[in-house]
């Protein structure tokens, strides 16, 4: 075998993630690598923590990037907060709720599952009933923005219910961070995790997390060792703690953290609420164009994620053929359905840097070009939304 340098094709990424990466972030990754205990790098680490606090809207001291993708952020929350024998209420309304259950079980906990239909938000009344039936529950876990379905649940209300029953909360914000309203402190979330490759427009491989003081107390006073050495926050805190003195724990992904720093600077410069509004504006334009083609949304409007549009594949349309043609003829990626939605839906992402009018209009015109007919022009319908904004 004689391998040569890999040069990937240039794609427009409008699937469920990763999203298009801002060229500023790719440039940041190419900067010189320095040591992970270098004073200059330690200074940047402090800035990353502060920028993440802004993105999460929190003052939590334990706010940091886990050196692995979003799934490791999920595992960080569960292995640190769930001990053997703990009862955990898990709200399941898609694929990532199912993964939460798996984490509970691998920690030796007991998962009490609250089920809702795919494409619908978590029902607060069902959670309340489950907590009343299980007064010994220790934790409530749910997905804020379910990537498999494009639905957003009412995190503030769900956390209030959990706290009323003396439970800590673990929240999946992999798809919501930077794309739709998320207020960790105002909503009193105890533990939350996300990923860099969605609305932060960064490369995959880092998972921002944040823990409240109540969660930190739980971690520090565990009866059993955290089952993962690498993700044990009692150890990681020594490296990501405050001040210039750091205890070696692992070699951080230095250049990837340059990229995260740059992505968070971009978010700060735009303004968090402006970013939320941009995602919503581009969603409405895409919606107008898709509906002119007779394409229906899966999720009711009040619960839709603007950054992840889950739509039904029209009757008689070949799912795989359309996605293949979009990729091969237009270098445009949209996502297939997962689980219960496999072969039934498309997941069209408008996340971070990819959430812009050019991508919206490109996607609509490409769908028309591969055979989806519109009443009039889908592009014109989208442009009407922009003109009225």
Q: Above pLDDT 70, what percent of the chain?
A: 99
How far is it, in rounded angstroms, from Cα 163 to Cα 27?
Answer: 44
Per-residue confidence (pLDDT) for residue 373, from 0 to 100: 85
Q: What is the mean pLDDT of residues 142-167?
A: 97
- DSSP-based three-state secondary structure for 244: coil
pLDDT at 360 over 60: yes
Written out in words, the top-level CATH class of the domain with range 272-388 is: alpha beta
- Mean pLDDT over 357-369 rounds to 97
Cβ proximity of 363 and 11 under 8 Å: no
Contact 152, 144 (CB under 8 A): yes
Strand order in the sheet with 332-336: 12-14, 332-336, 345-349, 308-312
One CATH from 3.30.750.210, 1.25.40.10, 3.40.640.10, 2.60.40.10 for 23-268: 3.40.640.10
Q: What are phi and psi of 178, to 5 degrees?
A: 90, -10
Mean pLDDT of the chain: 96
Q: Please report, for residues 18, 26, 39, 279, the alpha-carbon distance to residue 335 in angstroms, rounded to integers and kept in the order given.
A: 11, 23, 42, 18
Length of the chain in terms of residues written: 389
Q: How confident is residue 340, by pLDDT bands cut at 50, 70 and 90?
A: confident
Residue by residue, DSSP assigns 61-108 as SEEEEESS-HHHHHHHHHHHH--TT-EEEEEESSHHHHHHHHHHHHTT
Alpha carbons 118 and 149: distance in angstroms, whole number: 6
Q: What does the DSSP 8-state code read for residue 305?
A: -
Write out pLDDT tens, residues 203-244: 999 999 999 999 999 999 999 999 999 999 999 988 887 655
Is 194 a residue whose pLDDT tops 90?
A: yes
Closest CA to 44 of 233, 209, 196, 244: 244
Please give the C-alpha separations between residue 37 and each of 61, 238, 241, in angstroms, as whole numbers.
20, 12, 13
Ordered strands of the 87-92 beta sheet: 62-66, 207-211, 191-193, 168-172, 139-143, 87-92, 110-115
Domain ranges of the chain: 23-268, 272-388
In whole angstroms, what is the distance from residue 262 CA to residue 332 CA?
A: 25
Task: Give the span between the Cα atoms of 295 and 156, in whole angstroms.
Answer: 31
**pLDDT score of 11 more than 60:** yes
Residues 6 or more apart whose Cβ sits within 8 Å of residue 380: none
What is the gyration radius of the CA atoms in the chain, in angstroms? 21
Q: Which residues contact 60 (CB under 8 A, 6 or more apart)?
A: 53, 184, 185, 210, 211, 212, 213
Measured distance CA(141)–CA(191) in Å, rounded: 9
Which 8-state DSSP code applies to residue 21?
Answer: P
Answer yes or no: pTM beyond 0.75: yes
| Residue 245 pLDDT grade (very low, low, confident, very high; cuts 50, 70, 90) | low
Summarised one tens digit per residue, pLDDT across range 101-114 is 999 999 999 999 99
Residue with the bigger pLDDT between 168 and 249: it is 168
Measuring CA to CA, which residue among 201, 137, 205, 198 is closest to residue 173? 198
> Is residue 78 within 8 Å of 169, Cβ to Cβ?
no
């Amino acid at each position: 075998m004689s391998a040569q340098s890999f040069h990937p094709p240039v794609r427009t990424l409008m699937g469920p993630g990763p999203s298009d990466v801002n060229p500023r972030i790719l440039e940041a990754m190419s900067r010189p690598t320095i040591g992970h205990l270098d004073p200059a790098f330690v200074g940047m680490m402090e800035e990353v923590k502060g920028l993440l606090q802004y993105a999460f809207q929190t003052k939590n001291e334990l706010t940091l990037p886990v050196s692995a993708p979003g799934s490791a952020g999920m595992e960080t929350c569960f292995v640190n907060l769930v001990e053997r024998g703990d009862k955990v209420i898990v709200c399941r309304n898609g694929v990532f709720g199912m993964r939460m259950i798996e984490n509970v079980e691998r920690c030796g906990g007991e998962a009490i599952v609250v089920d809702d239909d795919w494409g619908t938000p978590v029902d607060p009344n069902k959670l309340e009933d489950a907590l009343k039936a299980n007064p010994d529950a220790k934790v409530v876990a749910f997905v804020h923005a379910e990537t498999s379905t494009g639905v957003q649940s009412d995190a503030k209300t769900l956390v209030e219910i959990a706290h009323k029953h003396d439970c800590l909360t673990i929240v999946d914000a992999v798809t919501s961070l930077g794309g739709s309203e998320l207020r960790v402190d105002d909503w009193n979330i105890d533990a939350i995790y996300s990923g860099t490759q969605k609305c932060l427009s960064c490369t995959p491989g880092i998972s921002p997390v944040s823990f409240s003081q109540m969660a930190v107390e739980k971690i520090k006073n565990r009866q059993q060792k955290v089952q993962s050495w690498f993700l044990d926050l009692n150890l990681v805190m020594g490296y990501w703690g405050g001040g210039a003195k750091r205890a070696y724990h692992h070699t951080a992904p230095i250049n990837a953290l340059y990229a995260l720093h740059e992505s968070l600077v971009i978010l700060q410069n735009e303004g968090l609420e402006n970013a939320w509004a941009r995602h919503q504006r581009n969603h409405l334009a895409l919606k107008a164009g898709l509906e002119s083609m007779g394409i229906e949304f899966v999720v009711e409007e009040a619960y839709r994620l603007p950054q992840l549009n889950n739509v039904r594949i029209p009757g008689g349309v070949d799912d795989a053929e359309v996605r293949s043609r979009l990729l091969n003829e237009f270098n445009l990626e949209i996502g297939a359905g997962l689980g219960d939605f496999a072969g039934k839906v498309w997941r069209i992402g408008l996340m971070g840097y990819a959430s812009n009018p050019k991508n919206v209009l490109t996607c609509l015109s490409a769908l028309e070009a591969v055979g989806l007919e519109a009443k009039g022009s889908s592009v014109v319908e989208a442009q009407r939304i922009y003109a009225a904004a």
